[in-house]
Chain A
Amino acid sequence: MRSFAFWSLVVALLTYMTLPTIVVLMTSVNPTEILAFPPQGISFDWYAKAVTYPDFQVAFRNGLIVTACASTLALIVGSAFAWLIHHYEFRGRGLLEGVLWSPLIIPHFTLGFGFLLLGGAFRMQQGYVMIVLAHMVLVMPFVTRAVHVSLANIDPALARAAANLGASPFQVLTRITLPLVVPGMAGGWLIAAVLSLTEFTASLYVTGSRTQTLPVAMYNYIREYADPTVSAVSALLIIATTLIMLVADRTIGLRRVLAIDTH
């Protein structure tokens, strides 16, 4: 009896978690021009509109540019910080970790608003530089974390064993440490990319009509039209990110990188 109650609760929670996504996915195939749930038929017309709509095309391209730059910058800077935190004991290390983690706690609208004001001060409102910087800050905790976990998972005896076998400190870095950290860096970059590509709140503040990213374009679209095109875009985004994550898990062991499964 208790078991029945328990499983009912689990099913209810899982349904609650996935229901919004399912609703959006289902409305995307509705044949008529309304966001009807349940759908009144099956049609892929809205998918055609989603990929041909000029605003979405531009926004998608903008998003790719921002994501590529922000994730890569976050990877470089985040890896450097992870290395620093992992290898050195220094005063203020805890503070540094706190600052690196802070974007997880600070609301995205605060960060977005802050970057908007900064952009104004430096006359860079709605420019790519500000958007990239904002996204970089937002995704950096994830990259730093992924690289830090990879570094921490390396048995310190490996470097000693390599040195014992004749590897110079530089060779230890290139032959042992880097190959073992690369999956973590790749995983961190990927998570950063997915987060950046779908980030909305901060992007709303820092983008302009020319530089808007896909989520912002979707928001602007739905303010004027209530047809299933945005549902179709959502579905495409979900499918794309799921595929990327699955491939990443297969090739670089995403679960290990995120320390969900240590070995």
Chain B
Amino acid sequence: MTATPTQEASRPIPSQEAGSAVDIVRVRKDFGAAVGVADVSLTIGKGEFVTLLGPSGCGKSTLLGMIAGFVTPTAGKIVVDGADITDLEPYRRDIGMVFQSYALFPHMNVYDNIAFGLKMRKLPAAQIEAEVRRAIGMMKLDGFENRRVRQLSGGQQQRVALARAIVIRPKVLLLDEPLSALDKNLRAQMQVELSELHRKTGLTTIFVTHDQGEALSLSDRIVVMNKGSVQQVAAPVELYRRPANGFVASFIGEINALPPGRCEVNGGTASLVLPGIGPLAFPVAPATGFAPGRQVRAFLRLEHVRPVLGGEAGPNVVTGTVEAHIYQGSHTITRVVVEGIGLIETRVTGADIVAAAPVGASLALAVDLSEAVLLDAAE
């Protein structure tokens, strides 16, 4: 059976009753005067797949390093399976990790790489053999046992690194940008394999990435970080539909930011009044966060702005000038400059829009506010 990452992502969080696997309690890391991680608290359920997502330098790798024990927190504590491991040496932690560079031992073959952790645990030889065979089978590495790691492709090295990390049956599996070194096709393939591996092993997994696509497709929950702080913790769909702030809104997927406006109710119709544009009506029910009189910034996904090629005018139609088309194969992103609003992007299937609304022509856009994200204007 082949589970697509998307199906995996919509799986409910299996953890609630089972208790937490990892508790990060007000953990902080200062690098001199600079803040690496600022008072982060986070609870991760047993069996959960949680992604730390953010731009480089946001503190996600530092946080992962503290869980693995390679970075000592300035303050706070880290609890795994109920035990405080904040000051425990890395080699006593029972936490599996896949490194960005894989960090396979170049002087050992595939088998010995995978067996290393079990040998360190001084398990009986027969048991080591059995466990390694199982991991080799699970990661589809049969026949590669005696290969040197330098002779392997990127994808194979990745699977050895995963086998080596899961064979010790860790309490938590840490993945530090493990897909970043792979090319695009292999990356998609490994995403599916990671998902399957997680389903088969049920391992609590913490995945670090700067790629929102990977995060959305793999995770039960995503922790968005910026400048050392957690911006939002939510399931992928929730994160996409209800970003908590402007940073999350623009970091996850593409989004249009409208200028500040005011929520108003006129004659029973809820609307957003933008200076210089006038009221844009909410259809049926206003979006979450609507309160009459509130000053808001509305964020609007590209799929909620639709080009109106017939030139019809309507209550929620704004008109602007086409600035550029970005053709992407299955769809085209069209950038339109609307007076009073600024740049608005819309996404339509195919490439017809390129001819229908050439650069420089005027284009009407129907704005659907039902899925708009309303955030405080002051932010």
Interface residues of A (CB under 8 A from B): 155, 157-158, 160-169, 171, 175-176, 179-180, 263
Q: Is the CB of B150 within 8 A of A160?
A: no
| Cα–Cα, bound, A158→B104 (Å) | 7
| Cα–Cα, bound, A182→B375 (Å) | 61
25 A-B pairs, CB-CB below 8 angstroms?
A: A155-B103, A158-B103, A158-B106, A161-B97, A161-B103, A161-B105, A163-B70, A164-B90, A164-B91, A164-B95, A164-B96, A164-B165, A165-B116, A165-B120, A166-B91, A166-B92, A166-B117, A166-B120, A166-B121, A167-B116, A167-B120, A175-B116, A176-B105, A180-B106, A180-B107
Interface residues of B (CB under 8 A from A): 68-70, 89-97, 99-101, 103-107, 116-117, 120-121, 150, 164-165, 168
Q: Is the CB of B168 within 8 A of A165?
A: yes
Q: What residue of chain A has the Cβ atom nearest to residue B174's Cβ?
A: A164
**In the assembled complex, how far is the CB of residue B128 from the closest CB belonging to chain A, in whole angstroms?**
13
* Of A166, A167, A168, A169, most B-chain CB atoms within 10 Å: A166
| Cα–Cα, bound, A175→B168 (Å) | 18
With A155-B103, A164-B93, A168-B89 known, 15 other A-B pairs at CB within 8 A are A157-B101, A160-B70, A160-B90, A160-B103, A163-B90, A164-B68, A164-B90, A164-B91, A164-B96, A164-B97, A164-B165, A165-B168, A166-B168, A169-B91, A175-B116
| Cα–Cα, bound, A9→B223 (Å) | 65
**In the assembled complex, how far is the CB of residue A148 from the closest CB belonging to chain B, in whole angstroms?**
18
Complex contacts, B90 vs chain A, CB 8 Å = 160, 163-164
Q: Is the CB of A168 within 8 A of B91?
A: yes
Q: Is the CB of B101 within 8 A of A171?
A: no
Complex contacts, B97 vs chain A, CB 8 Å = 161, 164
Complex contacts, B117 vs chain A, CB 8 Å = 165-166
A-B pairs with beta carbons under 8 A, tally: 60
Q: Is the CB of B105 within 8 A of A162?
A: yes
Q: Is the CB of A165 within 8 A of B164?
A: yes
Complex contacts, A162 vs chain B, CB 8 Å = 105, 116
| Cα–Cα, bound, A167→B103 (Å) | 14
| Cα–Cα, bound, A165→B135 (Å) | 15
**In the assembled complex, how far is the CB of residue B16 from the closest CB belonging to chain A, in whole angstroms?**
29
Q: Is the CB of A163 within 8 A of B91?
A: yes
Complex contacts, B95 vs chain A, CB 8 Å = 164
**In the assembled complex, how far is the CB of residue B173 from the closest CB belonging to chain A, in whole angstroms?**
11
Q: What residue of chain B has the Cβ atom nearest to residue A165's Cβ?
A: B117
**In the assembled complex, how far is the CB of residue B149 from the closest CB belonging to chain A, in whole angstroms?**
11
Complex contacts, B107 vs chain A, CB 8 Å = 179-180
| Cα–Cα, bound, A123→B150 (Å) | 55
Q: Is the CB of A161 within 8 A of B99?
A: yes
| Cα–Cα, bound, A158→B96 (Å) | 14
Complex contacts, A163 vs chain B, CB 8 Å = 69-70, 89-91
**In the assembled complex, how far is the CB of residue A21 from the closest CB belonging to chain B, in whole angstroms?**
36
**In the assembled complex, how far is the CB of residue B93 from the closest CB belonging to chain A, in whole angstroms?**
8
**In the assembled complex, how far is the CB of residue B143 from the closest CB belonging to chain A, in whole angstroms?**
24
| Cα–Cα, bound, A183→B91 (Å) | 27
Tell which of A160, A167, A171, A176 touches B99, judged by Cβ atoms closer than 8 Å. Answer: A160
Nearest 10 interchain pairs by C-beta: A166-B120, A165-B117, A161-B103, A157-B103, A163-B90, A163-B91, A164-B97, A157-B99, A179-B107, A167-B120
| Cα–Cα, bound, A263→B164 (Å) | 23
| Cα–Cα, bound, A157→B65 (Å) | 12
**In the assembled complex, how far is the CB of residue A71 from the closest CB belonging to chain B, in whole angstroms?**
24
Q: What residue of chain B has the Cβ atom nearest to residue A168's Cβ?
A: B91
| Cα–Cα, bound, A239→B71 (Å) | 54
**In the assembled complex, how far is the CB of residue A190 from the closest CB belonging to chain B, in whole angstroms?**
19
**In the assembled complex, how far is the CB of residue A165 from the closest CB belonging to chain B, in whole angstroms?**
4
| Cα–Cα, bound, A162→B70 (Å) | 12
Q: What residue of chain A has the Cβ atom nearest to residue B114's Cβ?
A: A165
**In the assembled complex, how far is the CB of residue A168 from the closest CB belonging to chain B, in whole angstroms?**
6
Complex contacts, B68 vs chain A, CB 8 Å = 160, 164
Q: What residue of chain B has the Cβ atom nearest to residue A175's Cβ?
A: B116
Q: What residue of chain A has the Cβ atom nearest to residue B117's Cβ?
A: A165
Complex contacts, A157 vs chain B, CB 8 Å = 99-101, 103
Complex contacts, B96 vs chain A, CB 8 Å = 164
* Of A157, A161, A163, A169, most B-chain CB atoms within 10 Å: A161
Complex contacts, A155 vs chain B, CB 8 Å = 101, 103
* Of A160, A163, A165, A166, most B-chain CB atoms within 10 Å: A165
**In the assembled complex, how far is the CB of residue A132 from the closest CB belonging to chain B, in whole angstroms?**
33
Q: What residue of chain A has the Cβ atom nearest to residue B70's Cβ?
A: A160
**In the assembled complex, how far is the CB of residue B64 from the closest CB belonging to chain A, in whole angstroms?**
11
Complex contacts, A176 vs chain B, CB 8 Å = 105
Complex contacts, A165 vs chain B, CB 8 Å = 91, 116-117, 120, 164, 168
**In the assembled complex, how far is the CB of residue A133 from the closest CB belonging to chain B, in whole angstroms?**
35
| Cα–Cα, bound, A263→B151 (Å) | 12
**In the assembled complex, how far is the CB of residue A216 from the closest CB belonging to chain B, in whole angstroms?**
41
| Cα–Cα, bound, A178→B68 (Å) | 24
| Cα–Cα, bound, A53→B279 (Å) | 110
Complex contacts, B91 vs chain A, CB 8 Å = 163-169
| Cα–Cα, bound, A31→B195 (Å) | 79
**In the assembled complex, how far is the CB of residue B131 from the closest CB belonging to chain A, in whole angstroms?**
13
Q: Is the CB of B120 within 8 A of A263?
A: no
Complex contacts, B69 vs chain A, CB 8 Å = 163
| Cα–Cα, bound, A157→B69 (Å) | 13
Complex contacts, A167 vs chain B, CB 8 Å = 91, 116, 120
| Cα–Cα, bound, A160→B95 (Å) | 12
Once A164-B90, A164-B96, A166-B91 are accepted as A-B contacts, the answer to whether A171 and B120 lie under 8 Å apart by CB is yes
| Cα–Cα, bound, A184→B150 (Å) | 19
Q: What residue of chain B has the Cβ atom nearest to residue A176's Cβ?
A: B105
| Cα–Cα, bound, A176→B116 (Å) | 11
Q: Is the CB of B105 within 8 A of A158?
A: yes
